[in-house]
Structure 1
Amino acid sequence: MIKKLISALVLVLLVSAVHAQIKTLNGKTISQTALDQFLASQVGPAGLPGLSLAIINNGKIVYHRALGTANLETQLPLNNQSVFEAASLSKTVFAYFVLRLVDQGVLNLDTPLYKYMPYEDIADDERYKLITARMVLDHTSGLPNWRTSDFADSTRHIAKGALYLKFKPGTDYAYSGEGYYYLSKVIANLTKNNLTTLDSFFQKEVSIPLGLSNVWFSSNPFITNHKVTGYVNGKAIHRWPGSLPKQDSTWFGAAGGLHTEAVGYANFLIALMKGKGLRKKTANELFKVQITLPAGGDFDGDTGWGLGIGIRPGFQGNDYNHRGNNGNFQSYYRINREQQSGYVFFTNCNKGGDFNERLEKFFLTGK
């Protein structure tokens, strides 16, 4: 997980294309040349293999760079079409997708999901019938992160690998990819799809209407030809992101399977901040504090959660963010809805969290 960030002051960037200056909210200005030099110092043998980064100002992408190496073995350079795993940044995009369907009356945020599709994996615990789409999206479903790694307390005598509930749904917070997996199966069922066809439906409902490029939840030839290699401590890891048995590249990975790059994702964030494609009330619901996190907890600076999005104090009102960590791919975005500004980046290694701390320090101090 990405470590707690240095300061809310560093976050939202105001960029003047005319003067080629990046201005932080504390009044400091940094030139594009200085930022170019900083990023170049972060990519290479001692740092990140590759990086795709975009900065948003006033609802527009004003800075974008794709730097470094797509594959260290072949020394293939990274370019503007290079595709990364978005990891858990997938969740915000999926939440938007769900809210599009809520607006269309396909499902209701507060209708128990079992009424749409019973879930045999956890049917032996009647409490699961309380789980709603809202609870999944704000991580109050009670489901573990992943049944394959987030095991129940041994005193409960639940077999490792079995799905279970940590608590009564709706009563507490626990980050859960399993909830997103369950909801994706419900969405597939309601739209007469399955997990191997749901991405095509997503393209029609989200990517095409928003004019997004390079944003997919399932594999396709473009990803095959343009995906960069991910690394953990310099070792190449070749796998499609998956946390469940038999999960492969054909599945719609709502919790961590999105593949994209900085421009494609930044354009999504711009649409999200503008509320494009959603009713105003629905868009506001996504950014609304659905659950307040306990003070003093290890939440990487977040104080609350909306629907598929983390909430934290910013220099001017709340800022919204999400971290992504698939091990060999790490990513992050942070935005301010009122100012329509922020940034997003993707890396192909396990050093994205450390990079983000250095990036925000640079935004604050210019060093």
Structure 2
Amino acid sequence: MNRITISAIILLTLFAFKTEAQLKTLSGAQISTEKLDQFLAKQMDSLGIPGLSFALINNGKVVYHRAIGVSNMETKEKVNDQSIFEAASLSKTLFAYFVLKQVDQHKLDLDTPLYRYLPYPDIAKDERYKLITARMVLAHTSGFPNWRHSDQRDVSLYKYGELFLKFTPGTQFAYSGEGYYYLAQVIARLNKLTIITLDPLFQKEVSKPLKLKSAWFSGNKNITQHKVKGHMNGKPFDKAWPTSFPEQDSTWFEAAGGLHTEALNFSTFLIALMDGKGLSKNMINEMFKEQVQLDKNSPHFLYNGDTAWGLGIAIKPTKYGVIYEHGGNNGDFQSGFKINKTNHNGYVLFSNCDQGRTLNTNIGNLLSQ
């Protein structure tokens, strides 16, 4: 073997080592590509996760990406880079960004009661709803239940499917998709649109500027062609579209949980968010600022360690910096992300089954070391 060949081998070895060493956790500690590959493979096997779209962000760039597994456990069709997943409640963070763009454009004020833009007949019998603002909705202090058809209600006051308030708006924290539904209708009204015609505006004002090639809140041919199959209890689950209302279908702009995307595109958004791209400095500060502190009995504190909520995002202090995060659960699709603004590290994952929350917890623990 000549000197040139030996030198080439040494350089390739050094390059490979350098590539692995560049992967970092949320805290900034090193983790190798091989270890992360092995971890994901073992987790998918032990948890029975069919498909996964995952991306790791280091210093504001995607340094590791995997689209692996199968779209459907019965057909064995492979997941690929074009595969589309339901983002579930990760939708809320991207929608919050969209809302704050409306504030920057002076179409909406964070603290103006929403009824002044659009009265809401669904809750009109409770005058307290007139206190609700966009800030309250995005910080989950509106008083609305998560969903009117599934949350416990006072049966002596409200019929099944009737919207209600759990408390006076602005006084407590209660996670709510209903608030996002109302706010989406307000945004549509302010732009002379409807819940069915709102997504093109989102594409124009958010997707196109941020170069999100695959991120939609309403159904289209791209989703139909590339969407993976959701799974429950290890089997494909027949659900046409994530819905929270009996009359809802894929034409609705579903702000709370209808986003369809994958890890590379959502990472692009997260990087833009950490960079403060597309929003005024004031709106970025509002998004990441503590809007409400969480009670220590809150499931978000007990399960995730979140101590506060910003606008569309949860806040978790750690010894190596503040982590901003959100999880998603549509049942047969579960997801999660975490970002560290201090070092611009983070990750996002999308899974097509009911074990994605456990995977998110386990990956979060690994990448928090």
Matching residue of 2:353: 349
Larger mean Cα displacement after TM superposition, 59-68 or 39-48:
39-48
Matching residue of 2:294: 293
Whether 1:226 and 2:230 are equivalent positions in the alignment is no
Secondary structure of 1:76 counterpart: coil
1:34: how far off? 1.8
1:127-138 equivalences under 5 Å are 127-138=128-139
Equivalent residue letter for 1:316: Y
Secondary structure of 2:19 counterpart: coil
Equivalent residue letter for 1:345: L
Counterpart Cα distance in 1 of 2:265 and 2:367: 23
Larger mean Cα displacement after TM superposition, 308-317 or 214-223:
308-317
1:27: how far off? 6.8
Secondary structure of 1:24 counterpart: coil
Matching residue of 1:11: none
1:104-119 equivalences under 5 Å are 104-119=105-120
Counterpart Cα distance in 2 of 1:177 and 1:305: 15
Q: Deviations over 1:261-297 (max 9, x none)?
A: 0001000000111110100011110000000111343
Q: Deviations over 1:235-273 (max 9, x none)?
A: 222320010121110000000000000001000000111
Equivalent residue letter for 1:49: P
Whether 1:335 and 2:336 are equivalent positions in the alignment is no
Q: Deviations over 1:284-316 (max 9, x none)?
A: 100000001113432221100000000011232
Equivalent residue letter for 2:96: A
Task: Sort the Cα spacing of 1:187 and 1:360 in 2 relative to 1 into closer, same or farther, 3 A.
Answer: closer
Equivalent residue letter for 2:309: W
TM-score (norm 2): 0.91
Whether 1:277 and 2:312 are equivalent positions in the alignment is no
CA RMSD of aligned residues (A): 1.7
Secondary structure of 1:56 counterpart: strand
1:28: how far off? 4.8
Would you say the 8 A contact 1:85–1:259 is kept in 2? yes
Match of 1:323 among 315, 321, 327: 327
1:79-118 equivalences under 5 Å are 79-118=80-119
1:30: how far off? 2.3
Q: Deviations over 1:129-175 (max 9, x none)?
A: 00000000000000010001013133x43111100000110011110
Secondary structure of 2:251 counterpart: coil
1:44: how far off? 4.5
Whether 1:189 and 2:193 are equivalent positions in the alignment is no
Matching residue of 1:162: 162
Mind listing any 5+ residue stretches in structure 2 that lack a counterpart? 1-15
Query: Percentage identity across aligned positions?
Result: 59
Task: Sort the Cα spacing of 1:17 and 1:264 in 2 relative to 1 into closer, same or farther, 3 A.
Answer: farther
Equivalent residue letter for 1:174: A
Q: Deviations over 1:194-225 (max 9, x none)?
A: 11110001000000011111110011111000
Matching residue of 1:122: 123
Q: Deviations over 1:47-92 (max 9, x none)?
A: 2100000001111111100010001121100000000000000000
TM-score (norm 1): 0.92
Equivalent residue letter for 2:157: H
Matching residue of 1:209: 209
Counterpart Cα distance in 2 of 1:187 and 1:193: 8
1:364: how far off? 5.8
Matching residue of 1:8: none
Larger mean Cα displacement after TM superposition, 35-44 or 99-108:
35-44
The alignment covers a number of residue pairs equal to: 349
Task: Sort the Cα spacing of 1:364 and 1:136 in 2 relative to 1 into closer, same or farther, 3 A.
Answer: closer
Whether 1:175 and 2:175 are equivalent positions in the alignment is yes
Bigger radius of gyration = 2
Equivalent residue letter for 1:329: F
Higher strand proportion (structure 1 or 2): 1
Counterpart Cα distance in 2 of 1:253 and 1:39: 30
Larger mean Cα displacement after TM superposition, 275-284 or 38-47:
38-47
Whether 1:258 and 2:262 are equivalent positions in the alignment is no
Equivalent residue letter for 1:352: G
Matching residue of 2:5: none
Counterpart Cα distance in 1 of 2:336 and 2:28: 24
Matching residue of 1:12: none
Larger mean Cα displacement after TM superposition, 354-363 or 289-298:
354-363
Would you say the 8 A contact 2:48–2:234 is kept in 1? no
Mind listing any 5+ residue stretches in structure 1 that lack a counterpart? 1-15
Counterpart Cα distance in 2 of 1:28 and 1:204: 38
Would you say the 8 A contact 1:40–1:67 is kept in 2? no
Secondary structure of 1:193 counterpart: coil
1:26: how far off? 6.0
Counterpart Cα distance in 2 of 1:194 and 1:99: 19
Would you say the 8 A contact 2:24–2:345 is kept in 1? no
Equivalent residue letter for 1:348: N
